[in-house]
Amino acid sequence: MNSTHYLLPLLLGLAACGGGGGGDGGGGTTTPGASQPSIQSFSATPASITAGQSSTLSWQSSHATSLSISPGVGSVSGNSVAVAPVTTTTYTLTASNAAGTITASTTVTVGSGNSNGGYGSMAAAGLGIGAALNGSIPFPASNAWNQDISAAPVDPNSSNILTTIGLTRGLHPDFGAGLYDGAPIGIPYVVVAGTQAKVNIHFTAYGDESDPGPYPVPGNAPIEGKRPDGGAFDGDRHVLVVDKDNNRLYELYRAFPQSDGSWNADAGAVFHLNSNTVRPGGKPGWTSADAAGLPIFPGLVRYDEAASGTIRHALRFTVSQSRRAYVPPATHWAASSTDPNRAPMGMRVRLKASYAIPASFSTESRAILQAMKTYGMIVADNGSNWYVSGAPDDRWNNDKLVRELGSVKGGDFEVIRMDGLVTP
């Protein structure tokens, strides 16, 4: 439902007497004799959703020099923004100028998810390499990956840590269309059915911190960095397999297929996508296919999700200098430095509420940046500073991604307070 707090027929009278429009009876503030801001409409479409779906907030306003929506959205421009609340939420639009402030509100009602997908169920996902998830989201809505951190407190050392990562360096999409250095750009994945045959996995480096096989890895599973021309390649060689029927995620690091159908890998991990006990076989201090001990797949930017206008989870990014520490949900560190001004694995950053996402940006870039406001980004590995991980897809517009995301600088972020920091 929605309620708009303005009285158009009385506008002249209000201006004459120095009164102001109100929101839920609370009203606004005005300056007599000036042109006050007004809100003609503010609504949510659809007004009722199930967990994992999105709604679009739309508005019409005039005479406003600034617009913001709370909770969790912040400054806005244009006439609409997509939101994906986990619970029923009343959003308030505030329009302001030097003459005063006016508000309007609308409510998005959130029902429970179902077997067709949503948080904690992969049932709606398609099958194959790079398959669309169709609204399926890894882990329950209450999981750390899906937590709305837009109102979380800022870490007291945020400024120093961000200075180390780079205040003037822009974001960079570590994913895209086509090839770079002869290989697809990003970390690929494949979705399989519960009937996919399981094969043996031989661990060659971190077997004591890996979940034992067999894993349902198909022979044609995509390997990160693999060249279509068959040329030699190296790198992390990640393999990510989602079993949609059993809600399981299998990830391998430095994976090499063998002639008998088995795979050799440095490390491997199995994650339960329908539970907050995300890795029942894991222990604190263990690595995974990722340096932070985290799953990789849930933090990837995927085209089908970004193109829908809404990403409903945190994203994954890298830094060049980390420290010997981690913060949940991470379980592992990947550095020897104890410098407190370096980021620990699992640290989360948030795009500031004061950053106005340009209305001229592509739908995909706007969705990515809004996710960074609502869910943030988690430090998951050592690499180039501010590199955001995603899956390859030929529908990405590389030029727009690089230009638009690159305009967002490190100084536009803040570090979320790190509760539960572990320093081995």
What digits encode the pLDDT tens for the residues 253-294? 999 999 999 999 999 999 999 999 999 999 999 999 999 999
What average pLDDT score do residues 361-373 get? Answer: 96
In a shared domain, residues 99 and 139: no
DSSP states of 192-206: E-TTPPPB-EEESS-
Same domain, 166 and 285: yes
Average pLDDT (29-57) is 77
Q: How far apart are CA 84 and CA 121, in angstroms?
A: 17
Interatomic CA distance for residues 157 and 336, integer angstroms: 20
Count of structural domains, the chain: 2
Token pair 């329009």 in the structure block, residue: 95
% residues pLDDT > 70 (the chain): 89
Tell me if 204 is assigned to some domain: yes
Contacts of 49 (CB under 8 A, 6+ apart): 55, 108, 109, 110, 111
Tokens found for residue 422: 């572990």
In-domain check, residue 329: yes
Asked, for residue 379, whether it belongs to a domain, the answer is yes
Per-residue pLDDT at 47: 79
Condensed to tens digits (0 to 9), the pLDDT of residues 231-255 reads 999 999 999 999 999 999 999 999 9
Token pair belonging to 290: 């990722």
Q: Specify if 149 maps to a domain.
A: yes
- What is the pLDDT of the chain when averaged over all its residues? 90
Whether the pLDDT of residue 60 is over 80: the answer is yes
Q: Are residues 102 and 200 in the same domain?
A: no
pLDDT for 117 equals 67
106 and 174 co-located in one domain: no
pLDDT at 1: 43
> Distance between CA atoms of 367 and 361, rounded to whole angstroms?
10
How many CB atoms neighbour CB 245 within 10 A?
A: 13
Residues 143 and 194 grouped into a single domain: yes
Q: How many CB atoms lie within 10 A of CB 115?
A: 8
Alpha carbon distance 138, 314 (integer Å): 11
Q: In terms of pLDDT, which residue wins out, 188 or 72?
A: 188
CATH of the domain at 91: 2.60.40.10
- Give the model confidence (pLDDT) of 3-42 as tens digits: 443 333 333 333 333 333 333 333 455 455 568 899 999 9
How many residues make up the chain in this entry?
424
For residue 314, is it within any domain? yes
User: Is residue 253 a contact partner of residue 237, using CB atoms and an 8 Å limit?
Assistant: yes
pLDDT at 72: 86
Regarding whether 136 and 102 lie in a shared domain, the answer is no
Residue 42 has phi, psi (to 5 degrees) of: -155, 115
The amino acid at 127: L
Contact 67, 94 (CB under 8 A): yes
Q: Do 335 and 409 lie in a common domain?
A: yes
Do 257 and 173 belong to one domain?
yes
Of 80, 111, 142, the domain-final residue: 111
| Residue ranges with strand state E in 217-298 | 239-243, 248-257, 263-272
**Last residue in a domain, options 45, 77, 111:** 111
Rounded to an integer, what distance in angstroms lies between the CA atom of residue 48 and that of residue 53?
9
Domain end position, chosen among 86, 111, 136: 111
pLDDT of residue 149: 95
Distance from C-alpha of 59 to C-alpha of 62, rounded to nearest angstrom: 10
Cα–Cα distance for residue pair 146/348, rounded to 1 Å: 12
Residue 14's domain comprises 2-111
Q: Does residue 120 lie in a domain region?
A: no
